[in-house]
């Protein structure tokens, strides 16, 4: 259970999570629509308004993220965009592009967070903290407006850290994750394997377990290597 003072960062974590997962699903929906499948467009998913995504998956976008933060100190959850399986069968490469669009949206948000942090560091608004963390990659350098600059710095730090996590997690090539759909669309023999795993009772749980183990093992060192080094490079 998190400590009382950590609850002050809950709005930052949840705002970033909701924005990030909305961009992820809207990217899926937009690429699918451009590729000939209007299912998500008709469902109102081609939008950066989080409400349609929240209405479709209230458990994954509201209940689980808030509960996970209270229990573990960070947000996890999910959302989804509908698509036509017949369209995927007919255009597997387009379906692969649709699947890849979500993680790429998260990667763009990693870049956006890092750019804002870098601009703040270069302008002297922020400095490198003695002990950087995923939610505090910078700290304010002035006492004037310190609370506001600290909140903005944390927001940008969470934006980079959380979206790097979402990017890594979703590209693990096991169903029900996007990486499996990308691999299945690019390599025909893998489609049957993906479909069997997806249809089995334990396939989805196995995929999530594998993804969690991969991320748990590699997230911290890859985050330090890719994100932190690029941010603090002179």
Question: Residues 139, 153: contact at Cβ < 8 Å?
Answer: yes
pTM of the predicted protein model: 0.92
pLDDT at position 1 over 70: no
Q: Which residue has the tokens 């995929």?
A: 207
User: Is the pLDDT assigned to residue 206 strictly greater than 90?
Assistant: no
Task: State residue 37's pLDDT score.
Answer: 97
Tell whether 122 is covered by a domain: yes
The reply to whether 31 falls in a domain is: yes
User: Which parts of 35-145 fold into alpha helices (H)?
Assistant: 39-42, 50-56, 58, 64-72, 85-90, 92-123
Mean pLDDT of 22-31: 97
Mean pLDDT of the chain, nearest integer? 90
pLDDT band for position 3 (cuts 50, 70, 90): low
Residue 223 falls inside a structural domain: no
Element (H, E) at 85: helix 85-90
Confidence of residue 120 (pLDDT cuts 50, 70, 90): very high
In a domain, 34, yes or no: yes
Q: What is the pLDDT averaged over residues 98-114? A: 97
Q: Quick one: which H or E segment has residue 126?
A: strand 126-127
The predicted structure's pLDDT at residue 148: 92
> Is residue 220 a part of any domain in this protein?
no
Q: Do 78 and 64 form a contact (C-beta atoms < 8 A)?
A: yes
Q: Where in the sequence is the domain holding 87, given as residue range(s)?
A: 4-170
pLDDT digits (tens, 9 = 90+) for 85-104: 999 999 999 999 999 999 99
Give the model's pLDDT for residue 201. Answer: 65
Q: What is the pLDDT of residue 36?
A: 96
Q: Report the number of distinct structural domains present in the chain.
A: 1
The answer, yes or no, to whether residue 6 has pLDDT greater than 90, is: no
Within-domain flag for 102: yes
The confidence band for 205, taking pLDDT boundaries of 50, 70 and 90, is: confident
pLDDT score for 154 = 95
Is 211 inside a domain boundary?
no
Tens of pLDDT, residue by residue over 132-191, are 888 999 999 987 788 899 999 999 999 999 999 999 999 998 888 899 899 988 887 788
Is the residue at 41 inside a domain?
Answer: yes
Euclidean distance between CA atoms 171 and 155, whole angstroms:
24
User: What distance in Å separates the CA atoms of residue 2 and residue 5, rounded to the nearest whole number?
Assistant: 8
Which pLDDT does position 147 carry in this prediction?
Answer: 87
């Amino acid at each position: 259970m998190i400590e009382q003072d950590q609850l002050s960062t809950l709005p930052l974590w949840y705002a970033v999570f909701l924005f990030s997962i909305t961009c992820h699903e809207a990217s899926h929906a937009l690429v699918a629509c451009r590729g000939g499948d209007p299912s998500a467009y008709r469902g109102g998913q081609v939008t950066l308004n989080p409400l349609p995504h929240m209405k479709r998956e209230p458990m994954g976008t509201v209940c689980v993220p808030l509960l996970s933060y209270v229990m573990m100190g960070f947000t996890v959850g999910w959302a989804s965009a509908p698509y036509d399986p017949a369209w995927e069968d007919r255009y597997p490469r387009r379906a692969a592009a649709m699947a890849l669009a979500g993680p790429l949206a998260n990667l763009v948000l990693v870049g956006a967070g890092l750019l804002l942090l870098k601009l703040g560091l270069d302008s002297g608004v922020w400095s490198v903290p003695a002990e950087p963390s995923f939610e505090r990659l910078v700290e304010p350098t002035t006492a004037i407006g310190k609370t506001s600059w600290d909140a903005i710095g944390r927001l940008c730090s969470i934006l980079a850290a959380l979206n790097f996590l979402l990017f890594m997690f979703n590209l693990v090539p096991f169903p029900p994750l996007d990486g499996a759909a990308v691999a299945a669309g690019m390599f025909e023999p893998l489609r049957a394997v993906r479909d069997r795993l997806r249809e089995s009772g334990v396939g989805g749980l196995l995929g999530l377990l594998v993804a969690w183990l991969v991320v748990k093992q590699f997230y911290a060192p890859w985050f330090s290597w890719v994100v932190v080094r690029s941010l603090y490079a002179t």
